[in-house]
Amino acid sequence: MEGRPQGESVDEAASQATGHVKPEIDLDQFLPYRLNKLADRISGELERMYSQRYGLNVAQWRVLSWLSHCDDLTAKKICSYTSMDKARVSRAIQALEDKGLISRRPSPRDQRVHDLLLTQEGARLLEGLIPDAHSWEAELVSTLSVSEYRDLLHAMSKLERQLDRM
């Protein structure tokens, strides 16, 4: 059979015939893709655990976790800290309030803003959830040595600083 060599795609044959090389990217070797894919998998697994054990989604967990160590927290700050959009944060806050895990009160500094507070029920839930999250993370990173884990966190910090400069 004449024409293109066996195994060569039509696109490859056309590129060679016209002298035009089609740009390609191997996503499995592209850092942004790999990091995003890993983050999505981790979030998905965590959400499965949060949902089954605590009836929470990832957005709700993020709000609760920030409330666990911040006394002065608003929806706007959560958006900033978590990089979640305003609508997602608002839905999470409303769901947590409906479950009795958080409360809102007008801020004494600005009546247009509401401070978010962890309720006693929310604090009790976190007493179980936070150790579970730490255990889950420990299992995930157990495949890394202490030095690999430290190097991973260090490399991530360097990339975050580089992004700030770009």
| CATH 1.10.10.10, domain 24-165, yes or no | yes
Span 101-135, pLDDT tens digits:
999 888 778 778 888 999 999 999 999 999 999 99
Instruction: Check pLDDT > 80 for residue 68.
Output: yes
Span 2-60, pLDDT tens digits:
555 565 666 666 556 666 788 888 888 899 999 999 999 998 998 899 999 999 998 99
Instruction: Check pLDDT > 70 for residue 140.
Output: yes
Higher pLDDT: 166 or 15? It is 166
Q: Angle at CA 107, nearest 5°, toward 100 and 60?
A: 35
Span 72-86, pLDDT tens digits:
788 888 998 888 999
Q: Are 58 and 83 in contact (CB under 8 A)?
A: no
Contacts 24+ apart (CB under 8 A), 11-20: none
The angle that helices 120-141 and 31-54 make with each other, rounded to 10 degrees, is 130
Instruction: Check pLDDT > 80 for residue 159.
Output: yes
Q: How far apart are CA 57 and CA 95, in angstroms?
A: 10
